[in-house]
Structure 1
Amino acid sequence: MSRRDDAAGPRGTADRVVVADRIVTATGADGPGWLALGDGLVVDVGDGPAPTGDLVRLPLERLQGVVVPGFVDQHVHGALGVDFGGADEAGARRAAAHHQRAGSTRLVASVATASSEATVRALGVLAPLVEEGVLDGVHLEGPWLSVERRGAHDPGLLRSPEPAEVEALLEAARGTVRLVTIAPELPGAVDAIRLLVDRGVVVALGHSDCTAAEAHAAADAGATVVTHVYNGMRPLHHREPGLAGAALTDDRLAVELILDGQHVSRDAVEIARRASSGRLVLVSDAMAATGWSDGRYSIAGSEVVVEHGVAMLADGSSLAGSTGTVGAGVTRLVREHGVSLPEAVRASSATAAASLGLAGAGLGRGDRADLVVLDDQGRVGRVMRGGHWL
């Protein structure tokens, strides 16, 4: 799926209007406004308490709360006991629906490190859901990752990228791979980055022990995203800042952040937010226990224990994904960090959409009718996807 191929659909004919005292869009609009909707799209948008002209004759719905664009989660492994990497079709649909109801109206399903055979099987399940529009692509987080910074990924399954394997997985995916995370210091990684970019795939740098210079060189080769900054990379150091330092300083890189209260401290969140203004992307990194229960799970070939909603490797050596949602991250960003809603909208929808080449994610004319209604505490209330309330 090429970034160049994804465009917003044509505007249709409005069949209803929604009005709210405050609508915050990706274009910077913030105040009383209305949205004329039809055929699953935003047909028209305007400021003020109500539309005029022919639109006044349409059914009108007044929304209580603040309306923002639907969230875009480009890094999500599953929910409700389901892991996208091993799910059947029904399970993958359930996991996607859970995140959509929580406000993430657009999802890129993450498949963690596995054997080539297992990854091909996962792609066989997920590709039709991308083609149907349930998902907006597949993210391969592995197997081309660093053993030193593997996190929850089984070191026995990690390997360097070989052109034949890269091509085989892309072929199996039928053009639905939208994002690939890779450690740029691995043998053959820079060539793999160029190959993936040439195929229209967005490349992220992550689970890497690379130096800052190696990260900048990977950006030169076409990488444009950093996978969950701070996690899965060497700590920021003043003489060798590594991938984290490159993420915070290289304006070519969108910067993923897991804002679940576990993965990144408050001060580190503020450093990332201030240094990468306009490039920050909230992600959930949600694993199978999301919306489910504590217990034992498996991810990326490793056993995981979830206690009190915190996912850790069974040996306690690493966090193993999150049990949160992007919507919960938006609430935390607004309430705990005092971030303005326009900034939160950029981090939860607009920046991810831009970095992935997803058109129509900002509540502008011709965009998809994907919206979230937030209450006065910044929490997710109602969710609309493609013009339908979930």
Structure 2
Amino acid sequence: MKTLIKNANIITPYEIIMSSNLKIENGKILNIFDKEAFNEKSYDEVIDAEGKYLSPGFMDIHNHGNFGHDAMEGTKEALNTIANFHIKNGVTSFLATVMTEHPIKIRKAIENVRNYIEDRDNNANIRSQVLGIYLEGPYFSMEKKGAQPPEFIKSPDLVEIKEYVSLSNNNIKVVALAPELEGAEEVIEYLREKNITISAGHTNGTFEQIKKAIDLGVTQSTHLYNGMRAFSHREPGVLGAVLTDERVLCEMIADGIHVHPAAMNLAVKAKGKDNIILISDSMMATGLKDGKYSLGGQEVYVKNNAARLRDGTLAGSTLTLNRAVYNMVHLVNVDLKDAVRMASLNSAKAIRVDDKKGSIEVGKDADLIIFDDDLKIEKAIVGGRLRKLIPE
């Protein structure tokens, strides 16, 4: 199938090409051109971008759910709903987050995501693509547990993590853990051998402990500033380690609630455009009204877009990734092309799929979105095919 997208401002990793056109064939990006003559009749489908932006689809590698559902439900219906809501907000691919819970629930959620990915009938009618699993816990520091249920937090267990990886059929792409805990080193070494991204998360580690973990194979930090030891000029802690080490990519929740815009700006100055990953960390209330919801079996109260446990602890977010990109542009003054990179190419790099996804480059998968100046998603293309934006 051949598709033409015409009259678009195309966001590549290097520039925004104004008033240009893009060819898609068999689900891949074939060519980008501006002045070349073309015959629309030679295409199976022509999409007019009407002068709006054409961008790589966003990739949300850390999110729990949205629109009333959570990946921990362990059902196909939940993942369908989550995927439908994602595509409406420009996310063409994502990782389903499995969080700290009873091991039986963790296994059920992992198995469900594996089955969902392997279901050929489902993949034939792709919404937003599920690329794998983000395992957030249960190997965390009790001091920095955040909204992770404390009764299930434990030290890293090599036997258990091997079981989870096997159960997932190698679909676990990221494991977040506290590297300072007993047993963490052997788990990090195992995950590195399996080519699974290791993220320092919910950790009270010292600067030296985190630097050692980076040497062992940690390449990412989970929701920067949140769930980690605070910075001190005498003990820089987790922040000092991840912000100053170029081997580490840093996730960030750019909602203006989890992180102050000045702190976002500091992170961008420290890490540059290539090492910030925008995530939503969204929970089931995303896209719905204020009220009472749940996360990890705990009651969560949402008021004015902030999701908190009863004690006031932030419990995920109600952020969407298109809004995160908007916030980086308008709250932090990041160039649009760089903010888009933080929600697409950097995410793809983190889970090692940047050879085929995450940017508009010839030969890559045609996972694309069209949006206006306010980051309102007009159209989404997944695998070269135009996808319906499921209404609320």
TM beyond 0.5: yes
Aligned-residue offset at 1:101: 1.7
| Corresponding residue of 2:153 | 158
Q: 1:239-269, CA deviations, whole angstroms, 9 ceiling, x for partnerless residues?
A: 1111111121110001100011210001101
Q: Give identity over the alignment, percent.
A: 32
In the other structure, the counterpart of 2:136 is: 141
Where does 1:209-358 land on structure 2 (aligned, <5 Å)?
209-277=204-272, 278-316=274-312, 318-358=313-353
Instruction: Give deviations 1:117-165, integer Å, cap 9, x for gaps.
Output: 1110111111122234530110010000110000001111100011111
User: How big is the shift at 1:342?
Assistant: 1.7
Q: Is 1:37–1:44's contact at 8 Å kept on the other side of the alignment?
A: yes
SS at match of 2:218: coil
> Which amino acid is the alignment partner of residue 292 of structure 1?
L
Identify which range, 304-313 or 177-186, moves more after superposition: 304-313
Q: Deviations over 1:324-354 (max 9, x none)?
A: 1111101111122221122112111011101
Q: Give me the whole-angstrom Cα distance separating, in 1, the residues matched to 2:223 and 2:180.
A: 18
> Which residue of the partner structure matches residue 9 of structure 1?
none
C-alpha distance in 1, partners of 2:79/2:22? 31
The yes-or-no answer on 1:167 pairing with 2:162 is yes
Structure 2 residue identity aligned to 1:25: T
263-272 or 81-90, which deviates more: 81-90
Higher deviation after alignment, 376-385 or 118-127: 376-385
Q: Which residue is equivalent to 2:88?
A: 101
Q: Report SS of the residue matched to 1:75.
A: coil
List alignment gaps of at least 5 residues for structure 1.
1-13
How far did 1:182 drift? 0.6
Is it true that 1:369 corresponds to 2:366 in the alignment?
Answer: yes
- Displacement of 1:357 in angstroms is 0.7
Q: SS in structure 2 opposite 1:336?
A: helix
Please give the alpha-carbon distance, in whole angstroms, between the structure 1 residues aligned to 2:329 and 2:323. Answer: 10
Distance 1:137 1:229 in 2: 22
Partner of 2:48: 62
Could you tell me which residue of structure 2 aligns to residue 11 of structure 1? none
Shift of 1:29: 5.2
* Residue among 60, 64, 84 paired with 1:73: 60
Q: For each residue in 1:17-61, what CA deviation from the matched residue of structure 2 results, as whole angstroms up to 9, or x when unmatched?
A: 112341012354533321111222212223x14x44678833543
Q: Report the AA paired with residue 357 of structure 2.
A: G
Contact persistence 1:331–1:379 (CA under 8 A): no
Confirm or deny that 1:385 pairs with 2:371. no
> Does the aligned pair in 2 maintain the 1:19–1:62 contact within 8 Å?
yes
Q: How many pairs are equivalent?
A: 374
Counterpart of 2:237, as a letter, is G
CA–CA distance in structure 1, aligned partners of residues 139 and 174 of structure 2: 13
State the one-letter code of the partner of 1:364. E
Please tell me whether the aligned partners of residues 347 and 358 of structure 2 are also in contact (alpha carbons under 8 angstroms).
Answer: no
In the alignment, the residues of structure 2 paired with residue 55 and residue 188 of structure 1 have an alpha-carbon distance, to the nearest angstrom, of 60
Query: Once the two structures are superposed, what CA deviation does each residue of 1:259-280 show, in whole Å capped at 9, x if it has no partner?
Result: 1121000110100111110200
Cα separation, 2, equivalents of 1:252 and 1:269: 19
Q: AA paired with 1:94? A: T
Of 211-220 and 224-233, the range deviating more from structure 2: 211-220
Q: Show CA shifts across 1:302-342 (max 9, x none).
A: 221112221001122x1000011111101111122221122
Q: TM-score, normalised by structure 1?
A: 0.91
- Check the 8 A contact 2:262/2:332 in 1, yes or no: no
Q: Aligned partners of 1:29, 1:335: CA distance in 2, in Å?
A: 18
Using the size of structure 2 for normalisation, the TM-score is 0.91
Give the aligned CA root-mean-square deviation in angstroms. 1.7
Q: Secondary structure at the match of 1:118?
A: helix
Matched residue SS, 2:299: strand
> What letter is aligned with 2:315?
A
CA distance change for structure 1 residues 341 and 191 in 2, over 3 Å: closer, same or farther?
Answer: same
Contact 1:334–1:378 (CA under 8 A) maintained in structure 2? no
Paired with 2:326 and 2:262, the residues of 1 have a C-alpha distance of 17
Residue matched to 1:123: 110
The one-letter code matched in structure 2 to 1:219 is: I
Note if contact 1:335-1:378 (Cα within 8 Å) is conserved in structure 2.
Answer: no
- Note if 1:83 corresponds to 2:70: yes
Deviation at 1:229, TM superposition (A): 0.3
Would the aligned equivalents of 2:178 and 2:202 in 1 still touch at CA under 8 Å?
Answer: yes
The alpha-carbon distance between structure 1 residues 240 and 56, as it changes in their structure 2 partners (threshold 3 A), is: farther
Deviations 1:220-240 (A, max 9, x none): 111111100000011111111
Aligned residue identity for 1:31: M
Residue pair 1:27, 1:362 contacting (<8 A) in 2 also: no
- Secondary structure (helix, strand or coil) at the match of 1:85 reads helix
Q: Give the Cα–Cα distance (whole angstroms) in 1 for the partners of residues 47 and 379 of structure 2.
A: 13
How far apart, in 1, do the equivalents of 2:373 and 2:134 lie? 34
